[in-house]
Amino acid sequence: MNIFATPDLLLALPEVVLLAATCFILLLDACLSDARRQVSYLLSLLTLLVTAVFTAALPDGSHIGFSGLFVVDGVAKLLKLVTCGAVAAVFLYSKDYLIQRGLLKGEYFVLVLFATLGIFVMASARSLLTLYMGIELLALSQYTLVAFDRDSPVAAESAMKYFVLGAIASGLLLYGISILYGVSGTFDLAQLTLQFHSGAAHQVGLLFGLAFLLAGIAFKFGAVPFHMWVPDVYEGAPTSVTMFLSAAPKLAYFALAFRVLAEGLGGALDAWQPMLILLVVLSLAVGNVVAVAQTNLKRMLAYSTISNVGFILLGFLAGTPFGYRAALFYTISYVLMAMGSFAMIILLARRGFEADRIDDFKGLAHRSPWFAWMMLFLMMSTAGVPPFVGFFAKLYVVQAVLDIGLTWLAVVAVLFSVIGAFYYLRVIKVMFFDAPSESALLVASPAFKFLLSANALAALVLGVLNSNLAETIAKALP
């Protein structure tokens, strides 16, 4: 009996290529000297390029394989392509940073590629079991990446906290999955849709399963009250790792929420919507208010992440096709802005100096006017100021909530967005109006500077051309 038919393997060809190439890089890197370590870096970029090509070549429409465990559809293809681009950018941004600190090791690239494979599996999951496999592959890679700098006690402490709390979150997810299986008798997301309908809010077993499942999803996203790991991990991990954690995994967690809530339990909206409203309000409140008091830029961006997660979940709780599209638009926009913000920290950093405090950006406009403006673009976009892409991302999710009549929640979101603008404007004020505390030149490769400039300018261009991104998402997620 042929369990894995050839069409199934063709649907999973990007995953097969990514896994095979990652294993090859792992074996090759063991034979390379430190002087030739850039071979692993170049091969990793090539792996992402080839994987993206195979992903783009996947057939259009929705195709199911591996006995219903795996699906290739518009959402999966778009998430995989954006992931490849985001991870490639992380590698390009990270190279000089890793070289300066003696951390250019093959393990970094291999771990990130295995994490990318986990994202791919989650994007194409059609079963709760497949989702869990992708979650754990991504999570285990992330725990190790946080502790990647073995000489840093802070990184080791952050990784331990992340691992312990992540293990608890995995237990919550598994317990929620087991309860849902006990109630429905299936792990298949399509079958779950048939099992639960609009009256599902009265099914006690479903409510218990949903509570544990949502707790696990909230932890992965970093939503309040499951956010306690985010600030410590963002601050303690090497900045190149923090950049990855803030970007590509958000695409995976969008896939997790979309597959479970929209596709698996969309008919039980009345059961999970109230729980999601609570997570959204708490995330918006805690993320924006606590970020105001931060002096460390990485911790500030960590709390910014928490508040932005609240906006992403705002699109989900609408429970409409437009709401899901708005959530994906916001997720992609946030990935772009987060990568650029952490790239600016790397740009100002140098050997023995991390540049992770807001005061380190004092007088940047005098040292480098161009990159001060690039940081301004990124901060304004993340704050949601027009005409940047972040403004339209916030506008779409608020509109999705207004469409279902939750005007009070839209007002709350706008108010906390205004509060959040303060700490982004503080960074801009420090760059343009404070005297520089350093006179050192900003040293980076031409490729780094070009990519960072393109990254920041994309926040403006995608804002002006937001309808194009919206149309692309609408085609992938009709």
Q: How many CB atoms lie within 10 A of CB 178?
A: 14
Please compute the mean of the pLDDT values over residues 63-78 and round it to a whole number.
90
- Decide if pLDDT at 202 tops 60: no
pLDDT above 70 for 5: no
Residue 278 counted as domain residue: yes
Look at residue 249 and tell me whether its pLDDT is greater than 50.
Answer: yes
Nearest of 306, 301, 390 to residue 346 by alpha carbon: 301
| Interatomic CA distance for residues 296 and 357, integer angstroms | 4
Is there a domain that residue 80 lies in?
yes
Q: Alpha-carbon torsion 23, 24, 30, 33, what sign?
A: negative
Q: Categorize the per-residue pLDDT at 256 as very low, low, confident or very high, splitting at 50, 70 and 90.
A: very high
pLDDT, mean of residues 43-65? 93
237 vs 148, 159, 231, 242, CA distance in Å? 8, 8, 10, 6
Alpha-carbon span 301 to 257, nearest angstrom: 23
340 vs 342: CA distance, rounded Å = 6
296 φ, ψ to 5°? -90, 125
Spatial distance between the Cα atoms of 324 and 320, rounded to a whole number of angstroms = 6
Query: How many distinct structural domains can be found in the chain?
Result: 1
Mean pLDDT of the chain: 90
Q: What pLDDT score was predicted for residue 264?
A: 85
pLDDT > 70? residue 199 = no
Give DSSP secondary structure letters for 67-97.
Answer: TTTEEE-HHHHHHHHHHHHHHHHHHHHHHHH
pLDDT in tens, 397-429: 999 999 999 999 999 999 999 999 999 999 999
Whether the CB-CB separation of 99 and 109 falls below 8 Å is answered with: no
Name the percent of the chain in helix, strand, coil, to the closest 5: 80, 5, 20
Highest mean pLDDT among 194-198, 276-280, 436-440: 276-280
Q: Is residue 255 in some structural domain?
A: yes
Task: Specify the pLDDT at position 67.
Answer: 84
Is the Cβ–Cβ distance between 142 and 247 less than 8 Å? no
Rounded-to-integer distance, Cα 164 and Cα 436, Å: 41
Task: Name the pLDDT band for 54 (thresholds 50, 70, 90).
Answer: very high
Separation CA 169–CA 176 (nearest Å): 11
Question: Residue 346 domain-assigned?
Answer: yes
Q: Which of 121, 122, 126 is nearest to 69 (CA)?
A: 126
27: left (phi over 0), alpha (psi -120 to 50) or beta: alpha
What local confidence, expressed as pLDDT, does residue 454 receive?
95
Q: Is the pLDDT of residue 443 over 90?
A: no
Is residue 164 a part of any domain in this protein?
yes
Task: Find residue 2's DSSP bridge partners.
Answer: none
Residue 122 lies in a domain: yes
Q: How many CB atoms lie within 10 A of CB 202?
A: 9
Indicate the helix (H) or strand (E) that contains 286: helix 269-291
- % of the chain surpassing 70 pLDDT: 97
pLDDT attached to residue 190: 82
Q: Is residue 129's pLDDT more than 80?
A: yes
- Is the pLDDT at 18 greater than 60? The verdict is yes
pLDDT at 170 over 70: yes
Q: What is the CA radius of gyration of the chain?
A: 21
Average pLDDT over residues 321-333: 95
pLDDT above 90: residue 338? yes
pLDDT score of 105: 87
1 part of a folded domain: no
Helix (H) or strand (E) run with residue 47 in it: helix 38-56
On whether the CB atoms of residues 217 and 327 are closer than 8 A, the answer is: no
Query: What is the per-residue pLDDT for 3?
Result: 54
pTM of structure:
0.94
What confidence category does residue 4 fall into, taking pLDDT thresholds of 50, 70 and 90? low
**Cβ–Cβ < 8 Å for 217, 257:** yes
What mean pLDDT do residues 312-321 have?
A: 92
Nearest-CA neighbor of 91 among 83, 230, 141, 122?
83
pLDDT tens figures, 186-198: 888 888 877 776 5
Q: 382 lies in which domain range?
A: 6-476
| 338: in domain | yes
| pLDDT for residue 297 | 92
Please determine, for residue 6, whether its predicted confidence score (pLDDT) is greater than 70.
Answer: no
What is the arithmetic mean of pLDDT over 41-60?
Answer: 94
pLDDT confidence band for 1 (50 / 70 / 90):
very low
Identity (one letter) of the amino acid at 221?
A: F
Total residues belonging to the chain: 478
Assigned token pair, 432: 């343009």
